[in-house]
């Protein structure tokens, strides 16, 4: 059966018009054809295995592992519909991850299947933002809300959905939805950089280097002797940390609730924290990630009463030249442990930096091997070792040195801090996501109210912000 026609069958989404008239926005579907250099099938990479396990555990809520974002096109750079389709054809031909399906074989194994040809359906919505910025924002918000809960059909659907807003024949914005099986946050960032360069250079780019790694190639390397040695180093690292003790546990229960009512999510958006972390990273010569992890670990020490803090971190896995710019999903979980007896915040950061480097150097493993080890270290397959405290640093360029933002005291920006409650996206007992904007940091904390109070977790985020601000201002 040809892979061209059955892929991504799309019925126009036609979300409600943001003017609340109840009338759908006018839309139409066009297609971007692509032809790649090869068709290939391979097993899942270690990162894809982790994402697949999360998707399966989420069941009908697996859309939480989609990456849904809006975008706006600057007025002077707005392409035509045809130019957008040509760009999509170019990038789908360029990157194998974008033209991959994830079917299940008869033996139950999920594989990645790279297509040699196909076409991506793109929905164009006629929506005039006119001179009213609020109207443009409303169109974008309506689309994003509409697509935020749509699931992917992994075996049959390409891993991108795209809706473009058009006026007077020019695209001015839209919403994209990527499957996390195909691409992660840093892969999207690299792809966005390529798209901008493509249009700046007259709709062309230099070919990828011949040694550019693809997800299918990576899966092959991970099954090779070199990949197996890396896997074994990771397993040995985790065993060395937890062979004789369990990771930091949750506090005793403070409430008795059913599972589906147990989770909350709160976010703190802080210009002051962004300013403070940039200054501290620059002043201490450590990464912004180490500053944030050290401050969080110190607060967890005080919250739990344990001098030993264990964290489940997310590693970008973009350490080599052949992987740094891969358009793929590469992130993997890694295991961090630090001793914080008698430490203040500067000492906590100083100790967290080498502990994080060690964790990242010893990360990368297939899901089955790690699950067997966690079962061995815990109470068997039904009670494996579990890590209660997770941090996912999703900032745009966490590996880059942060830059201080002026000489004003960080405390002078505290009045701009916004604390808000969010819908729960992942049911985790303690899951801190760190994100950034042009001039702020955002800490989003999901927690289990059976172990943490709502006021206690709001205070945790406030204390995290204030500890960073106080240290930064004391060193100014």
**DSSP class of residue 415?**
G
Band (pLDDT 50/70/90 cuts) for residue 151 is: confident
pLDDT of residue 133: 59
What is d(CA 178, CA 183) in angstroms, rounded to the nearest whole number?
A: 7
Q: Answer whether residue 10 shows pLDDT above 90.
A: no
Q: Answer whether residue 381 shows pLDDT above 60.
A: yes
Alpha-helical (H) ranges within 201-249 are: 215-222, 225-242
**Taken in order 106, 111, 115, 119, is the CA torsion positive or negative?**
positive
- Determine how many CB atoms are found less than 10 A away from the CB of residue 121: 19
DSSP lists the bridge partners of residue 111 as: 43
pLDDT of residue 5: 34
> Residues 2-26: what's their mean pLDDT?
48
pLDDT of residue 139: 67
Give the domain ranges of the chain. Answer: 27-202+211-218, 240-474
Angle made by CA atoms 209, 189, 37, in degrees to the nearest 5: 35
Q: Answer whether residue 288 shows pLDDT above 80.
A: yes
Residue in 301, 348, 333, 295 with CA at minimum distance from that of residue 462: 295
Residue range 253-279, pLDDT digits in tens? 999 999 889 999 999 999 999 999 999
**Taken in order 4, 6, 8, 9, is the CA torsion positive or negative?**
positive
Residue range 204-240, pLDDT digits in tens? 999 998 888 999 999 999 999 999 999 999 999 999 9
Residue range 87-119, pLDDT digits in tens? 999 999 999 999 999 999 999 999 999 999 999
Joined tokens for residue 165: 């807003």
Residue in 145, 155, 208 with CA at minimum distance from that of residue 179: 155
The length of the chain is 476
Joined tokens for residue 223: 């099954």
- Determine how many CB atoms are found less than 10 A away from the CB of residue 247: 20
Q: Answer whether residue 131 shows pLDDT above 70.
A: no
**How much of the chain, in percent, has pLDDT values that exceed 70?**
90
DSSP-derived secondary structure for 248-274: PPPPPP-----GGG-EEEEEEEEHHHH
First to last CA, the chain: 66
**Angle, in degrees to the nearest 10, between helices 367-377 and 225-242:** 20
Is the distance from CB of 446 to CB of 431 less than 8 angstroms?
yes
> Residues 339-345: what's their mean pLDDT?
97
**CATH architecture, domain 27-202+211-218:** 2-Layer Sandwich (3.30)
pLDDT of residue 18: 54
Q: Answer whether residue 289 shows pLDDT above 60.
A: yes
What is d(CA 329, CA 332) in angstroms, rounded to the nearest whole number?
A: 9
What is d(CA 306, CA 388) in angstroms, rounded to the nearest whole number?
A: 14
Element at 163 (helix H, strand E): strand 160-167
Angle made by CA atoms 164, 438, 355, in degrees to the nearest 5: 110
What is d(CA 161, CA 143) in angstroms, rounded to the nearest whole number?
A: 12
What is d(CA 429, CA 427) in angstroms, rounded to the nearest whole number?
A: 7
**Beta strands per DSSP E along 316-364:** 332-339
User: Do 27-202+211-218 and 240-474 show the same overall fold?
Assistant: yes
Band (pLDDT 50/70/90 cuts) for residue 86 is: very high
CA distance to 81, 108, 266, 463, per residue, from 459 (Å): 49, 46, 11, 6
Band (pLDDT 50/70/90 cuts) for residue 397 is: low
Residue in 473, 469, 471, 476 with CA at minimum distance from that of residue 414: 469
What is d(CA 464, CA 118) in angstroms, rounded to the nearest whole number?
A: 49
- Determine how many CB atoms are found less than 10 A away from the CB of residue 52: 19
Q: Answer whether residue 128 shows pLDDT above 50.
A: yes
Least confident of 88-92, 228-232, 379-383, 457-461: 379-383
Is the distance from CB of 252 to CB of 303 less than 8 angstroms?
no
Q: Answer whether residue 398 shows pLDDT above 50.
A: no
- Determine how many CB atoms are found less than 10 A away from the CB of residue 46: 25
CATH of domain 240-474: 3.30.559.30
Joined tokens for residue 125: 């919505």
> Residues 380-385: what's their mean pLDDT?
92
What is d(CA 213, CA 210) in angstroms, rounded to the nearest whole number?
A: 9
Secondary structure string (H, E, C) spanning 165-209: EEECCEEEEEEEEEECCCCCHHHHHHHHHHHHHHHHCCCCCCCCC
Least confident of 137-146, 188-197, 459-468: 137-146
């Amino acid at each position: 059966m040809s892979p061209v026609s059955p892929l991504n069958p799309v019925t126009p989404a036609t979300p409600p018009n943001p003017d609340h008239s109840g009338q759908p926005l006018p839309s139409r579907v066009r297609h971007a054809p692509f032809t790649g250099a090869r068709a290939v099938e391979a097993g899942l990479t270690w990162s894809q295995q982790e994402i697949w396990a999360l998707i399966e555990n989420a069941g009908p809520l697996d859309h939480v592992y989609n990456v849904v974002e809006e975008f706006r096109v600057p007025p002077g750079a707005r392409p035509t519909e045809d130019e957008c389709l040509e760009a999509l054809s170019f990038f789908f031909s360029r990157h194998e991850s974008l033209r991959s399906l994830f079917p299940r074989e008869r033996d139950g194994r999920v594989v990645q299947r790279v297509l040699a040809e196909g076409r991506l359906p793109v929905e164009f919505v006629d929506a005039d933002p006119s001179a009213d910025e609020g109207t443009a924002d409303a169109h974008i918000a309506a689309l994003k809300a509409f697509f935020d809960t749509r699931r992917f059909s992994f075996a049959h659907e390409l891993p991108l959905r795209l809706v473009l807003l058009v006026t007077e024949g020019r695209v001015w914005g839209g919403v994209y939805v990527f499957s996390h099986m195909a691409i992660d946050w840093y892969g999207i960032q690299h792809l966005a950089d390529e798209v901008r360069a493509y249009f700046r250079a007259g709709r062309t780019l230099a070919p990828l280097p011949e040694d550019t790694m693809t997800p299918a190639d990576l899966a092959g390397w991970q099954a090779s002797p070199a990949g197996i040695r890396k896997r074994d180093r990771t397993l040995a690292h985790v065993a060395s940390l937890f062979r004789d003790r369990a990771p930091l546990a949750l506090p005793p229960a403070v409430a008795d609730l059913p599972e589906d009512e147990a989770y909350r999510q709160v976010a703190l958006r802080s210009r002051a924290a962004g300013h403070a972390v940039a200054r501290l990273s620059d002043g201490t010569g450590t990464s912004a990630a180490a500053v944030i992890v050290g401050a969080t670990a110190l607060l967890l020490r005080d919250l739990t009463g344990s001098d030993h803090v264990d964290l489940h971190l997310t590693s970008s896995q973009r350490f080599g030249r052949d992987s740094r710019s891969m358009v793929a999903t590469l992130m993997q979980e890694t295991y961090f442990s630090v001793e914080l007896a008698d430490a203040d915040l500067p000492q906590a950061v100083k100790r967290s930096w080498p502990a994080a480097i060690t964790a990242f150097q010893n990360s990368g493993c297939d899901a089955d091997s790690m699950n067997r080890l966690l079962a061995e270290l815990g109470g068997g397959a039904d009670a494996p070792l579990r890590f209660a405290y997770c941090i996912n640093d999703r900032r745009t360029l966490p590996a880059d040195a942060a830059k201080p933002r002026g000489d004003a005291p960080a405390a002078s920006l505290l009045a701009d801090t916004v604390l808000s409650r969010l819908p729960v996206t992942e049911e985790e007992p303690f899951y801190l996501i760190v994100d950034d904007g042009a001039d702020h940091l955002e800490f989003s904390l999901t927690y289990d109210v059976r172990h943490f109070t709502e006021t206690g977790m709001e205070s945790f985020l406030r204390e995290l912000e204030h500890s960073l601000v106080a240290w930064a201002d004391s060193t100014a």
